[in-house]
Amino acid sequence: MKGLKKLLGLTLGAMMTISLVGCSSGSNEGEGTVEKLQQIKDAGVLVVGTSADYAPYEFHKQIDGEDKIVGFDITMAEEIAKDLGVKVEYKDMDFDGLLGALEAEKVDIVLSGMTPDEERKKSVDFSELFYEDSNVCIVKKGKEDSIKSEDDLKKLKVGVQSGTTQADFITGDLGITDAKQLKRMPDLMLDLQNGNIDVIVTGKNVANINIGQYDGLAIGKTTVGKEVAESTAAAIKKSNEKVDNTSLVESINNTIKRLKDENKMDEYMQEALKLAEK
């Protein structure tokens, strides 16, 4: 009888263990994949990665004695956050570090005048495009006619912002491997002003803002690269087994559609251009 009780006890213990294991397994499955959109809403904040030295898209501005990050992409971030019902937090860093920060989940999205080219699409997802621009050359005044074709760039000392589509175009498409690549547009502008480089290749809107802040510089008369060489979208980390970003991308695209339907994009760009000129 004692042996039977012992046997029954062992059997009952084994059944309880199996039951507990079953419950534990079900709990893990229940946790499943985290939905990024809900995670952001629960936190009450959208963390946006940007490189605030690229007016009119994002730049620093003294407003009422306080340093603020403003610009076209910043307005977009505010609209996206408004539709999500959350606040915005910005993390300002070098442009070429933004996608790494996104991959490491230090930021939720990237808004920084970023073009969704094929190379970037391999590592991150993008929203729908919300602005398009062309590439131009910034040169010293009096040399606006000096660059008539892309081949003319091969004879010059070219400067580009590192990590940009312009850098890819110059080094990849044109094969100018000795182009000077700097992290910040202001540093490139000073190099051009001081004669350390002959030309800067950048987006038209960025060029229009920057030449107004540096004496003796102008925009060349020839567009280089494709007619639409620079386009802007939000970058979002690709979904994986741990985090699902699908609904976040959909929400951002819904905001973009709303703003396009309301004809807000050109309005926001004009506001950013005026703010950068002050």
Residues 123 and 257 both lie in one domain: yes
Lowest mean pLDDT among 22-26, 148-152, 206-210: 22-26
Percent with pLDDT over 70 in the chain: 87
Q: Which amino acid is at 67?
A: D
CA angle 12, 18, 24 (to 5 degrees): 135
pLDDT at 11 over 80: no
Residues 100 and 48 both lie in one domain: yes
Residues 123 and 238 both lie in one domain: yes
Indicate the number of domains in the chain: 2
Residues 232/127, Cβ–Cβ less than 8 Å: no
pLDDT at 15 over 70: no
Confidence class of residue 225 from pLDDT cuts 50, 70 and 90? confident
pLDDT at 95 over 60: yes
Cis omega before residue 56 (within 30°)?
Answer: yes
pLDDT of amino acid 135: 87
Q: What is the CATH number of the domain that holds 149?
A: 3.40.190.10
Q: Quick check: is 182 in a domain? A: yes
Percent with pLDDT over 90 in the chain: 63
pLDDT of amino acid 17: 44
Contacts of 162 (CB under 8 A, 6+ apart): 95, 96, 181, 182, 183
Residues 224 and 237 both lie in one domain: no
Name the β-bridge partners of 62: 67
pLDDT at 171 over 60: yes
Residues 123 and 165 both lie in one domain: no
Domain with 174, as residue range(s), is: 134-230
Residues 139 and 203 both lie in one domain: yes
Residues 220 and 147 both lie in one domain: yes
pLDDT at 13 over 80: no
Q: Quick check: is 43 in a domain? A: yes
pLDDT of amino acid 226: 65
Ramachandran area for residue 196 (φ above 0: left; ψ -120 to 50: alpha; else beta): alpha
pLDDT at 174 over 50: yes
pLDDT of amino acid 266: 86
Confidence class of residue 275 from pLDDT cuts 50, 70 and 90? confident
Q: What is the distance between the alpha carbons of residues 95 and 172, in angstroms, rounded to a whole number? A: 19
Q: Quick check: is 27 in a domain? A: no
Contacts of 278 (CB under 8 A, 6+ apart): none
Residues 273 and 254 both lie in one domain: yes
Beta strand ranges found along the chain (DSSP E): 34-35, 45-50, 53-54, 58-63, 66-70, 87-92, 109-110, 124-126, 131-133, 135-140, 158-161, 180-182, 199-203, 217-219, 230-232, 235-237, 243-244
pLDDT of amino acid 229: 61
Instruction: Specify the pairing of strand 58-63 against strand 66-70.
Output: antiparallel
Name the β-bridge partners of 46: 88
- The residue-averaged pLDDT of 252-261 equals 97
Which is more confident, 169 or 77? 77
> pTM to 2 decimals?
0.68
Which is more confident, 264 or 168? 264
Query: How confident is the model over 108-148, as pLDDT tens digits?
Result: 999 998 989 888 999 999 999 998 888 899 999 999 999 98
Confidence class of residue 4 from pLDDT cuts 50, 70 and 90? very low
Confidence class of residue 2 from pLDDT cuts 50, 70 and 90? very low
Residues 95 and 157 both lie in one domain: no
Q: Quick check: is 13 in a domain? A: no
Residues 105 and 239 both lie in one domain: yes
